[in-house]
Amino acid sequence: MEHRYLPMTAQDKEAMLKTIGVDSIEELFSDIPEKVRFKGEYNLKPAKSESALLKELSRLAAKNADHRNYASFLGAGVYDHYKPVIVDHVISRSEFYTAYTPYQPEISQGELQAIFEFQTMIAELTGMEIANSSMYDGGTALAEAGMLAAGHTKRKKILVSQAVHPESREVVRSYALGQSIEVEEVPLKDGVTDAGALKELLDGDVAAVMIQYPNFFGQVENLKALEPVIHDSGALFVVSANPLALGALEAPGNFGADITVGDAQPFGIPEAFGGPHCGYFAVSKKLMRKVPGRLVGETVDEEGRRGFVLTLQAREQHIRRDKATSNICSNQALNALAASVAMTALGKKGVREMAVQNIAKTRYMKQQLEGAGLSVEFGGAHFNELTVKLGKSVKALNVRLLEQGIIGGYDLGRTYDGLQGHVLVAVTEQRTKEEIDLFVQELAAFVQEKEAAHA
Amino acid sequence: MRKDENQPLIFEVSKEGRIGYSLPVLDVPEVDLEDVLPADLIRAEDPDLPEVAELDIMRHYTALSNRNHGVDSGFYPLGSCTMKYNPKINESVARFPGFADIHPLQDESTVQGAMELMYDLQEHLKEITGMDEVTLQPAAGAHGEWTGLMMIRAFHEANGDFGRTKVIVPDSAHGTNPASATVAGFDTVTVKSDENGLVDLEDLKRVVGPDTAALMLTNPNTLGLFEENILEMAAIIHEVGGKLYYDGANLNAVMNKARPGDMGFDVVHLNLHKTFTGPHGGGGPGSGPVGVKKSLLPYLPKPVLIKTEDGYTFDDDRPDSIGRVKPYYGNFGINVRAYTYIRSMGPDGLKAVSEYAVLNANYMMRRLAPYFDLPYDRHCKHEFVLSGRRQKKLGVRTLDMAKRLLDFGYHPPTIYFPLNVEEGMMIEPTETESKETLDAFCDAMIQIAEEAENSPETVQEAPHTTVISRLDEAQAARKPVLRYQKEKAE
């Protein structure tokens, strides 16, 4: 058959079969026993031409309410942020996106250097000494942090704050199950980790305490107050941080975090229905040889030129096999490149400015909501998310908002028992004053409507 | 090609006062951080990120890209990695706003198009693998392995069977197999290969027992050979109550020829970034869907995407599920690319893919066999493994030959893998390469074999033309420098 991805001609094929010394391609499959041979044809949709497929899939895509046509107030771990246009141009250079893992450094210096720069930027933002080349996402990075901590401390219990993203907590539990690690949750108090309860739960069996910063409700956890409590017990202090927020918030490394993880999605990475995003993993120097995933290090070539290589590979699965510290192989290299380009474009000044804009817009939203008589829960400092008490169905609110061209917030009742009728609202720098005002107006009108209307 | 000066880091071209961004204009009142955050929590010192204008950013990354080799740059016969062409339509489709700019927690009614695509991809993968259900949640192959093993563990434990602590892997297995087994809480047992490069059935019978949880197998295996005793192996494993795990890394060889589901496998993971052209991205992101047979259905990671009369929905009510393995639903963007590819190929196209992948590998193997040692002389599937033993005796190692290939503009094969071949070179051409490309590569290999005899130093000192020569990896590991620092403490 002819296909634009298959260059062999009938003549080529014939010449090649002759060289091999067989009469047909079929002969090359003669080692597959008759009993397991697939007979017949796959029952799949037939091939489509390029134009026809583009048309079909663009129609399918158009069935979704995307954020070019809708203003999104949905966050909960994934955000609609400013993406410098240059990001997509860089990652569309196929020398990057069609390459494999840089195992041949002489022809992979571009990728290796880009990762080295990524490691540096993440280390800078988090205030940690070392960052790796990326993980799948923030949730699995957190789970790997738990495994690292258990291995390092030889303890078998993890405490995770209930203010950590509910789906990340689930992933932590799944990984912990494999390692027979016990997971306990630290309750909340006014929307942040209950420090008193944490103290009660801490004992000599705890390998790690996991805190999200800012937490799932957008509240800024007081890492400074939590750190001594955690370290006094001998547990590792694990922080899951939104790297954008670190433009305004003090770095976890400066509060003594042992491991800081998170997701670099806010830096130039599309929401893409939840992935691929870009986990990051940063540690203090003492944990360097236990970091999961790939690390790029600087070295020199035979003539003394600076160059970069994958290093400390003795930690990794392809060398250590069943003794490896993690099974991760593929990571999120291309998205780490995207995040690097975004962090470069934003730079020292822009990251701070963008973080502060998020705070300013969220504060404006809070004032408007309160001005409209709505109840914004939890009194602490916010980054770019707020919890609003509706006392009514969040789903119904979101249906109404959709009609106004708005993607509404996250229904906290889905995952928090005490928070039925509460919505988590995200306000990024992308939301205009006009959109925020409309959102508040609709929300206020919805809450004031008689319950019966939506019963 | 070589320059004496170092390629600057982005930090080294940074200059205070330059910007590369254009943020929205703040249209609400400004805030003073002191008014909204406790003083302790305000960042005292800005992170030292670069300050660079847009053109200089683009030139920096363009310069880096010029120092990188991708499939679009040239032939990339990296065994076991399936470095085939990455179709451009995939990239366009993944960037449609309706796929790229949607949030995973939007109301399901607003993302039915995305869910339809995921569901249809699952259906296609079920047919291709012969499995009963597929989850798209795992982010990569290794993640899929661990997910599959956790399901196997859940299955055994649900039967009250807590003594199955061992996972068997062949000595030729990829390193992720034993590592995934460890992460899933199992001990690894290695089964030997026989003189034909296949799993040694006698050794397999010796290592199985009531403690066997599973056997992990790649078929064709990492030598590129089809495990023709697969049904016997399945029987041995199933007889002792274990499960059979299929590592789909090499599926590119057998589409429409043999399906894992028909070979007796209970769990399968696929690498959509290999067979199904999600690009490798310099190391990721990938996507590692897992398919299962009926006995493992209850343990699938949740939520499970299902189709109802009212449309598609994520079903979270799965009491026996191993839980969530990843936030949200997997690497959707990669899944969109894989789906686009499958729909571009159709059933006939996928069949042709495997046929040409196998034709190309056998052709190269026969052209190169006179010049190198071929430890397993039989039809290969999509890849084959040569040994550099003959050249090693001349003082030229496989590493040297790999480096010499760089001078010809090729990415070398996978080297020193699998572990059971001395001085191994694992070559996987894929189906998207032309005969001219295969011939030119073979000619280069033959020239290198001749150089090994006549002018070994040419090979030993390679590469000669790359932007950088061989790097001191020992120093990198001994004195790790893992980030840039303005004032180096040395």
- In this predicted structure, the answer to whether residue B238 has a pLDDT above a threshold of 70 is yes
Pick the residue from chain B with its C-alpha nearest to A222: B41
Average pLDDT of chain B is 96
Chain A residues with beta carbon closer than 8 angstroms to that of B6: 305-306
As a whole number of angstroms, the distance between CA B1 and CA A269 comes to 34
Please give the backbone phi and psi of residue B463, each rounded to the nearest 5 degrees, phi first.
-85, 155
Nearest CB to A327; choose among B176, B257, B301: B176
Nearest CB to A306; choose among B6, B23, B328: B6
Interchain CB distance below 8 Å, B111 and A107: no
Tens-digit pLDDT profile for residues B373-401: 999 999 999 999 999 999 999 999 999 99
- In this predicted structure, the answer to whether residue B417 has a pLDDT above a threshold of 70 is yes
Nearest CB to A105; choose among B22, B70, B471: B471
CA distance A300 to chain B (A): 6
Chain B residues with beta carbon closer than 8 angstroms to that of A320: 175, 179
Mean pLDDT throughout A216-228? 98
- In this predicted structure, the answer to whether residue A385 has a pLDDT above a threshold of 70 is yes
pLDDT, residue A322, reads: 82
State the residue for tokens 């670190």.
A246
- Burial category of B17 from C-beta neighbours within 10 Å (exposed 0-12, middle 13-18, buried 19 and up): exposed
**Beta-strand relationship, A206-213 and A236-241:** parallel
Average pLDDT of chain A is 96
Beta bridge partners of A389: A375, A422
Chain A residues with beta carbon closer than 8 angstroms to that of B355: 25
Tens-digit pLDDT profile for residues A257-292: 999 999 999 999 999 999 999 999 999 999 999 999
pLDDT above 70 covers a percentage of chain A that reads: 99
Under a CB-based contact definition with an 8 Å cutoff, are residues A202 and A226 in contact?
A: no
CB atoms near residue B422 (< 10 Å): 13
Q: How many helices (H) and strands (E) does chain A have?
A: 13, 17
Chain B residues with beta carbon closer than 8 angstroms to that of A300: 471-472, 475
As a whole number of angstroms, the distance between CA A103 and CA A361 comes to 45
As a whole number of angstroms, the distance between CA A241 and CA A165 comes to 11
DSSP secondary structure code for residue B258 in this structure: B
Chain A residues with beta carbon closer than 8 angstroms to that of B7: 109, 113, 306
- In this predicted structure, the answer to whether residue B409 has a pLDDT above a threshold of 50 is yes
Q: How confident is the model at residue A130 (pLDDT cuts 50, 70, 90)?
A: very high
pLDDT, residue B40, reads: 94
Task: Give B319 or A314, the one with higher predicted confidence.
Answer: B319
- In this predicted structure, the answer to whether residue A448 has a pLDDT above a threshold of 70 is yes
Interchain CB distance below 8 Å, A134 and B181: no
As a whole number of angstroms, the distance between CA B177 and CA B173 comes to 7
Tens-digit pLDDT profile for residues B243-282: 999 999 999 999 999 999 999 999 999 999 999 999 999 9
pLDDT, residue A314, reads: 86
pLDDT, residue A451, reads: 55
Distance in Å from the first CA to the final CA of chain A: 60
Mean pLDDT throughout A438-449? 96
Under a CB-based contact definition with an 8 Å cutoff, are residues B357 and B293 in contact?
A: no
Tokens of B96: 């449609």
What does the longest C-alpha to C-alpha distance in chain B come to? 77
CA distance A229 to chain B (A): 17
Range of lowest pLDDT (A357-366, A441-450, B257-266): A441-450
Interchain CB distance below 8 Å, B330 and A124: no
- Burial category of B316 from C-beta neighbours within 10 Å (exposed 0-12, middle 13-18, buried 19 and up): exposed
Distances (CA, A) of B80 to B188, B337, B425: 22, 20, 11
Task: Give A343 or B5, the one with higher predicted confidence.
Answer: A343
As a whole number of angstroms, the distance between CA B92 and CA A410 comes to 30
pLDDT, residue A455, reads: 43
Pick the residue from chain A with its C-alpha nearest to B367: A19
pLDDT, residue A155, reads: 98
Interface mutation vs chain B, best among A255, A286, A311, A329, most B CBs within 10 Å = A329
Interchain CB distance below 8 Å, B33 and A359: yes
Interchain CB distance below 8 Å, B273 and A17: no
pLDDT above 70 covers a percentage of chain B that reads: 99
CB atoms near residue B66 (< 10 Å): 14
Interface mutation vs chain A, best among B80, B131, B471, B473, most A CBs within 10 Å = B471
Chain B residues with beta carbon closer than 8 angstroms to that of A358: none
- Contacts with B110 (C-beta within 8 Å, 6 or more apart), sequence order: A64, A65, A402, A407, B102
Tokens of B15: 């200059």
- In this predicted structure, the answer to whether residue B488 has a pLDDT above a threshold of 70 is no
What Rg value do the Cα atoms of chain A yield, rounded?
A: 26
Pick the residue from chain B with its C-alpha nearest to A397: B107
Interchain CB distance below 8 Å, A249 and B285: no
CB atoms near residue B149 (< 10 Å): 29
Tokens of B48: 């030292």
- Burial category of A148 from C-beta neighbours within 10 Å (exposed 0-12, middle 13-18, buried 19 and up): buried
Chain A residues with beta carbon closer than 8 angstroms to that of B327: 77, 137-140, 165, 167-168, 171, 274-275
pLDDT, residue B489, reads: 44
Tens-digit pLDDT profile for residues A50-78: 999 999 999 999 999 999 999 999 999 99
- In this predicted structure, the answer to whether residue A452 has a pLDDT above a threshold of 70 is no
Task: Give A326 or B21, the one with higher predicted confidence.
Answer: B21
- In this predicted structure, the answer to whether residue B94 has a pLDDT above a threshold of 70 is yes
pLDDT, residue B1, reads: 59
Nearest CB to A356; choose among B10, B31, B226: B31
Interchain CB distance below 8 Å, A301 and B326: no
**Which pTM was predicted?**
0.97
- In this predicted structure, the answer to whether residue B125 has a pLDDT above a threshold of 70 is yes
Nearest CB to B26; choose among A76, A357, A407: A357
Distance in Å from the first CA to the final CA of chain B: 31
As a whole number of angstroms, the distance between CA B181 and CA B145 comes to 8
Interface mutation vs chain A, best among B19, B105, B174, most A CBs within 10 Å = B105
pLDDT, residue A317, reads: 80
pLDDT, residue A207, reads: 98
Neighbour-count burial for A200-232, b at 16+ CB within 10 Å, e otherwise: ebbeeebbbbbbbbbbbbbbbbbbeebbebbee
Q: Smallest Cα–Cα separation from B144: which of B301, B320, B24?
A: B301
In what helix (H) or strand (E) does residue A146 lie, and over which residues does it extend? Answer: helix A138-153
